[in-house]
Amino acid sequence: MTKKKILPTVCPSCGGHTQVHSLHCNECDTTITGEYNIPPMMLLTLDEQAFVTKFIKCSGSLKQMASDMGLSYPTVRNFLDDIINKLTKLENNEKSI
């Protein structure tokens, strides 16, 4: 089984945010090119994305997440607050472009 590649959201040369330049359909061999911003949710780290997914699966219950993760409620709440702040900054940067 081939390991899927992870979309790089940070430039390895300068650390800037990357953009998608083209999309390709393997089914019909169609390629779409242009300048497309990466959605803010995809700019989160893999751990942050996993946290958001778990949050949704737990119906937004931080108490349940804390229990499942073996962490305290305040620790889980702080992690969520950090993600909220990061998304807010990313969205504000996107609006200013």
pLDDT digits (tens, 9 = 90+) for 22-66: 888 999 999 999 988 888 898 899 899 999 999 999 999 999 999
Domain encompassing residue 49: 39-96
User: How many domains is the chain partitioned into structurally?
Assistant: 1
Distance CA 55, CA 68 (A): 11
Please indicate, yes or no, if residue 66 is contained in any of the structural domains: yes
Res 77 pLDDT > 90: yes
Please indicate, yes or no, if residue 31 is contained in any of the structural domains: no
Please indicate, yes or no, if residue 8 is contained in any of the structural domains: no
Please indicate, yes or no, if residue 13 is contained in any of the structural domains: no
Please indicate, yes or no, if residue 73 is contained in any of the structural domains: yes
CB neighbours of 20 closer than 8 A, spacing ≥ 6?
7, 36, 37, 38
Please indicate, yes or no, if residue 27 is contained in any of the structural domains: no
pTM: 0.74
Res 96 pLDDT > 70: no
CATH at residue 87: 1.10.10
Please indicate, yes or no, if residue 7 is contained in any of the structural domains: no
